[in-house]
Structure 1
Amino acid sequence: MLVESHTVEELRRATEDFNPSNQIEGAVYHGRLSGKNLAIKRTQPEIIAKVEMQFFQNATYHHPNIIRLLGTCLTDGPHSFLVFEYAKNGSLKDWLHGGLAMKNQFIASCYCFLTWSQRLRICLDVAMALQYMHQIMNPSYVHRNIKSRNIFLDEEFNAKLGNFGMAKCVEDDTESPQFYSTNPATWSLGYLAPEYIHERVISPSVDIFAYGVVLLEILSGQTPINRPKKKDEGSVWLSEKIKFILQSDNADELRDWMDSALGENYSFDAAVTVANIARACVEEDPEMRPSAGEIVEKLSRLVEESPEGEHFSICESSSKPLVKAGAMK
């Protein structure tokens, strides 16, 4: 389906004149047009000019784990609009870190945490979107903005990567001084690969690094950069923390770090595997990071071994070492 052009009047009707009750988050609104649910994002005309529309005009670029851009609305005023496929269950960030959407009608489910099998499936869905962008699209495509806020969950909790085709819009973001603010609440920095921070190198490995950080968020329920508990301590980066945890021979280190919302309803061995995948993704050296295809292969096996709805209990002592030698080889 080609990207459609909409009028402002159509989008006003769809959103009840951008009624606050239809606001999903920030400048994004829920709307209904021709009986379809949509996410309508208000933005500047110059942003729309940077969107790589060719990816959406061609059916070969459609992937079930990538949010589709369905329409645009260009105006003479300060605001233009992008119309996206709607994800009923909000963003992964909302579920892991309790964002705005947790408090409004957009979250369909009444329990507000993700089960272990849902988390594994989300990890795999995002890896499949990356495999498609990096290894199937020709030339390969680097997203540059992989983060929990850009991963959306539909009615069935299938994960879909958002802001695809908008890599050129990210450049301005990362140039702005507040992006590099030392404020620990500036999470975005926590997703950036060292080679991008220091040398502005852009390659699929940059996405893999950020994806590794998302895996760590999913495992721990923590933000990419945590505020220090004590005033004299520095901020804790998830990409560094996992290295210490996996170097330890003490399985309790990993257990204590896991998201407490899971309780004991997860497979510890599977958690160790995902932690090792994440650890490989956040290697300093981009050459050492796995490809998306290798990640898909490993996670597919885990998802197959994890029956839906099964409750796991953690065995008291895991005799397996936490760090698997050559975990991603």
Structure 2
Amino acid sequence: MKRFIIFIVFLCFSLLQIATICSAQAQSKTKGFEYNEFDTQKDGPSFEFTKPTSTIDQNALQITPDNQNQENGYYNKSGRIMYRDRYTLWLSDRDEIASFNTNFVINMYRETTWEPGEGLAFLIAPSYDVPVASYGQWMGITNETTDGKPENRIVAIEFDTRKQDFDPDGNHLGLNINSVNSSKTVSLSEFGIDLSQPDRKHSVWINYNGKSQELEVYMAKEGDAKPETPFLKELINLRHFVERVSYFGFAASTGDPGIQFNCVTKWNLEMEVLSSEKDWKWLIIGLSVGVSTSVLLLVLSGIKVRGFYLKKKKNRARDEEAGVTGKLKMLPGMPREFKYKDLKRATRNFHESMILGKGGFGVVYRGVLKGDDREKASDNAVTQVAVKRFSRDNIDGKEDFLAELSIINLLRHKNLVRLEGWCYEKGKLLLVYDYMPNGSVEKHLYKSSDGHTLSWRHRYKILAGVASALHYLHNEYDKKVVHRDLKASNILLDSDYSARLGDFGLARAIENERNSYNELELGGVPGTLGYVAPECFHMGKATPETDVFGFGAVILEVVCGRSPGVKIQHEEQQFTLVDWVWMLHREGRILEAVDERLDNVYEVDEAKRLLLLGLACSHPVAGERPQTQAICQIIAENMPPPRVPPFKPVFMWPSSSTAFNSVEESGNFSKTWSL
């Protein structure tokens, strides 16, 4: 007993030493840099430049050519200058998001005779590579092909000096998420700021609080104090939109005729270092100093503290895993349980070469099961599967995993990707699906390696299949299921090019007494830009009608071969896909929207039928959209195509007394569209 008391005293002393060391280090939780000017020789190695557009010159970051680089030309240029080191913005094993503060001075110089254009942006991006043809309105952020795509994983604060159709004016700042079409804009004229002026500099402060997920942007003329209130303030969960480890920097562009010198003359950044990056090193040092004074007594006392706690931790993890596994096995109709080692072998240890796709909830790998890895398989049997490995193995990951399983384990439809099995082992969460050998519709529309595109027969068959699957989810399954993420990349193709709707990571089952699923997420509603219904941005509600809107975007995308999230240049204007088709419909030229790559090899009546149906599904008012039963009948040519008004209706707030209930009211389609 005496030895035990002595041990406790020494252990407390050791822990005090550890706490002192770690506390000292905890006072330094940030890292970053400060540049009051820029020198080519000294500072150049710290940055990545777009050559030959971007340089350090006249003690500033010159993102687009300045007056010392005229051999590069001024017009139609784009560039990026990114800090070479990457920063960790969030942790994969917990909900922590890093806070950061940055302050910089911008100089968007132009001669008085020049037209201003195009703009500069503070950028958080996965790469320092500037997209090709990203000059003009694209500001070095995206281009016509990539704009709006969620895989961009880009967040930017733009300082725009030239008005586009989607801009409020030619002097504003905006919050950009994967697109140059800002999710929020603020006109700067009301604050007395004109961005593009001869020899005028402006200070910018951007503060992001990782705990509250609040982004604030302040501006002032250089030399003036930071304003008390931010010009732009928005809630945004960065882990939804950027890579875990990302680059910080600037992008900019010029156009024709709009040009200016897009420069940054000062820049400092202070980034929070998340706990997993800072604690372990000093904890080890503390342990080596403190525990060394107690280890002898620990041995002498014979108290196996470490063994006790390791056993307790192991038992707790085992109990938790057994609890989750038990819940899964209790779900009715659950498919087989796979062994983790078999899936690891099938995917070649989850090798990059086996990746089929990535999303916000995880990575999907191709897996090859051989012999004993398959249930009831002969020794020579080989089966290909798709293995979805959840990227978050913490409690949120388990909730995503259980939510997806609880919805899809009983779904049975020929146009849905079938669940083959699941695995929850060693803290890893995996789902196993049928393998779709022909990939996604998106791949065939935009990424075909052989240059061929989907035939008209295949396109019509695909849309009929997706409509049938959607009708099943909304009306034929025992619960109404809202998919919430209908898009071309989530429509997969089997060996016969039949459509299989997949990726239920955002899907939710609607309870019988409710007819909408309300989930407001920080930084925006779930889904993908271009496919999300307008009422989602105002009400935060996902309903069967919002799925119909997403299907309308898919119809137009498949028929036109154009992404709903990418602007279309028509004469001197830019249109979204749906607005472009509506304009052609108004002018009696709707068939001009059909994908040119089909070389006019398509059925005219079918194409017109689908285009009108796509517009009907894209109606800005939720209650005016057709229901899935009518959609299936129209595609099957058992009903005439809808009569679509020549002008696109405007969005109207839904009545507070009206819950979106068109699923129950199956008879209002003909009344709604007899315009």
Rounded Cα–Cα distance in structure 2 between residues aligned with 1:174 and 1:149: 24
Output one character per residue of 1:128-187: Cα deviation in whole Å (capped at 9) or x when no partner.
Answer: 001101111233111111111110000000001002374259x9x98353889xxxxxx9
Rounded Cα–Cα distance in structure 1 between residues aligned with 2:446 and 2:505: 26
* 1:141 match: 481
Output one character per residue of 1:258-306: Cα deviation in whole Å (capped at 9) or x when no partner.
Answer: 211111101222211111101100001111111111011111128xxxx
Rounded Cα–Cα distance in structure 1 between residues aligned with 2:484 and 2:337: 27
- Larger deviation, residues 47-56 vs 131-140: 47-56
In the superposition, relative to structure 1, how do residues 281 and 56 fare at CA in structure 2: closer, same or farther (>3 Å)?
closer
* 2:437 match: 88
- Larger helix fraction of residues: 1
2:584–2:592: 8 Å Cα contact kept in structure 1? Answer: no
TM-score (norm 1): 0.77
1:113 correspondence with 2:453:
yes
Rounded Cα–Cα distance in structure 2 between residues aligned with 1:31 and 1:47: 22
Q: Aligned-pair distance for 1:8? A: 2.2
In the superposition, relative to structure 1, how do residues 47 and 112 fare at CA in structure 2: closer, same or farther (>3 Å)?
farther
* 2:388 match: 41
Rounded Cα–Cα distance in structure 2 between residues aligned with 1:164 and 1:19: 24
Which of 207, 226, 230 lines up with 2:547 in the alignment? 207
Output one character per residue of 1:204-232: Cα deviation in whole Å (capped at 9) or x when no partner.
Answer: 000000000000001111111224659x9
Which of 238, 249, 253 lines up with 2:577 in the alignment? 238
1:151–1:162: 8 Å Cα contact kept in structure 2? Answer: yes
2:482 match: secondary structure: coil
1:277–1:328: 8 Å Cα contact kept in structure 2? Answer: no
* 2:338 match: 6
Q: Aligned letter for 1:284?
A: P
1:157 correspondence with 2:497:
yes
1:15-30 to 2 correspondences below 5 Å: 15-26=347-358, 27-30=363-366
1:152–1:160: 8 Å Cα contact kept in structure 2? Answer: yes
1:197 match: secondary structure: helix
In the superposition, relative to structure 1, how do residues 137 and 178 fare at CA in structure 2: closer, same or farther (>3 Å)?
closer
2:417 match: secondary structure: coil
1:71–1:83: 8 Å Cα contact kept in structure 2? Answer: yes
Which of 413, 420, 428 lines up with 1:70 in the alignment? 420
Q: Aligned-pair distance for 1:323? A: 5.4
Rounded Cα–Cα distance in structure 1 between residues aligned with 2:568 and 2:623: 31
Which of 593, 610, 624 lines up with 1:257 in the alignment? 593
Q: Aligned letter for 1:20?
A: E
2:356 match: secondary structure: strand
1:276–1:324: 8 Å Cα contact kept in structure 2? Answer: no
Rounded Cα–Cα distance in structure 1 between residues aligned with 2:336 and 2:520: 30
Segments of structure 1 that go 5 or more residues without pairing to the other structure are 104-109, 181-186, 303-321
1:48–1:82: 8 Å Cα contact kept in structure 2? Answer: no
Q: Aligned letter for 2:443?
A: D
Q: Of the two, which has the highest radius of gyration?
A: 2
In the superposition, relative to structure 1, how do residues 222 and 243 fare at CA in structure 2: closer, same or farther (>3 Å)?
same
1:55–1:165: 8 Å Cα contact kept in structure 2? Answer: no
Rounded Cα–Cα distance in structure 1 between residues aligned with 2:608 and 2:645: 9
Q: Aligned letter for 1:197?
A: F
Segments of structure 2 that go 5 or more residues without pairing to the other structure are 1-332, 375-381, 510-516, 647-669
1:72 match: secondary structure: strand
* 1:197 match: 537
Which of 284, 287, 298 lines up with 2:623 in the alignment? 287
Q: Aligned-pair distance for 1:55? A: 3.7
Rounded Cα–Cα distance in structure 2 between residues aligned with 1:93 and 1:157: 13
Q: Aligned letter for 2:397?
A: I
Identity %: 28
Rounded Cα–Cα distance in structure 2 between residues aligned with 1:174 and 1:3: 32
Rounded Cα–Cα distance in structure 1 between residues aligned with 2:576 and 2:587: 17
Q: Aligned letter for 2:497?
A: F
Which of 620, 630, 635 lines up with 1:299 in the alignment? 635
